[in-house]
Amino acid sequence: MSQKKLRLIYNPFAGRRRLAGELDDVIRIFQEGGYEVCIHRTESPKDIEQTAAQSQDVDTLVIAGGDGSVHQAVNGLMKIDEQKRPVLGILPVGTANDLAYALKLPKARAEACKVINRDKILEMDLGMVNERYFVNVASAGLLTDVSPLVDIHMKNSLGQLAYYLKGLETLPSFRPFHVEFEHDGHLYSEDALLILAVNGLSVGGFKQLVPMASLSDGKLDFLIVKLSGWPETMRLLLKAVGRGKMKSEKVVQFQTEYLRITCDRESSSDLDGEWGPNSPWEIKVGPKIKVLC
């Protein structure tokens, strides 16, 4: 009987560089789980995607990093034929680990490795924006272009606080945008501050925005925050930071499998903390992917 093969892609800069000193233990635990282990040290998002796309030679692909690294790995894996596609394992060592939270993965590295050895599989929904996949959240509007702009050293020094501080810098220059979309037979035409399409259970560490969301229900949870005065906007944001639900007449919230959104100007999107397609957007539930949990 041939030995199972595992490829570990690790980002040496993720999670304040903590993984580098633990690699020997990580490899040992995987070998004890019956895996033949090969290591790929990555230095760029593009490299993660390319390496994942060429991983049909292994049974399991483990990505050590945050949501952005998982995003790149998934977009690479989905280029492999389903019959040859390896199962995805995650070691959550990033600044934001929203998908790991939704999967209830342990934060301790050794325990997360043992979860992968356990070989319990979830067939997880993927979201799609145009032709690009996302695992946790697609967003546009206020604060959503912050994550790709945060310096890696700032992330490592300040953790998730780095995103909030960078976000405050963008507030004075933010311009709301007009969006149109149809849902449940009703045509919406709104001046919007923020659009979220959520697949997981938390966004940027905010764990109560979509408390009923599921990774396997075949639907996405949408939140559209309508334009309001800055006092009301700040109240909603502070409520979100305090882990409260964003319930307000200024928030449109629903579940659906598909939504097409057009804007009055070309607008960028953010997928799992990485740059996504520009508008207009076709946002939908994509195929499932096998994830170890």
Band (106; pLDDT cuts 50, 70, 90):
very high
Confidence band, pLDDT 50/70/90 cuts, at residue 52: very high
Residue in the block written with tokens 């050590």: 64
Domain boundaries, the chain: 4-119, 132-286
- Residues marked as catalytic: 274
CATH number for the domain running over 132-286: 2.60.200.40
**For residue 75, is pLDDT > 80?**
yes
Query: How many of the other CB atoms lie within 10 Å of CB of 114?
Result: 15
**Mean pLDDT across the stretch 124-129?**
98
Superfamily of domain 4-119: Probable inorganic polyphosphate/atp-NAD kinase; domain 1 (3.40.50.10330)
Distance CA 80, CA 56 (A): 7
Burial string for 71-90 (b: 16+ CB within 10 Å, else e) reads bbbbbbbbebeeeebbbbbb
> Which of 53-62, 152-161, 233-242 has the highest average model confidence (pLDDT)?
53-62
pLDDT band at residue 202 under the 50/70/90 scheme:
confident
4-119 and 132-286 have identical folds: no
Q: How far is CA 68 from CA 99, 247, 281, 290, in A?
A: 10, 28, 20, 18
- 158-164 long-range contacts, CB within 8 A, separation 24+: 159/16, 159/95, 160/95, 160/96, 160/204, 160/205, 162/95, 163/95, 163/96, 163/204, 164/241
Q: Where are the alpha helices (DSSP H) in the chain?
A: 23-32, 45-53, 67-77, 98-102, 109-118, 152-158, 161-170, 230-241
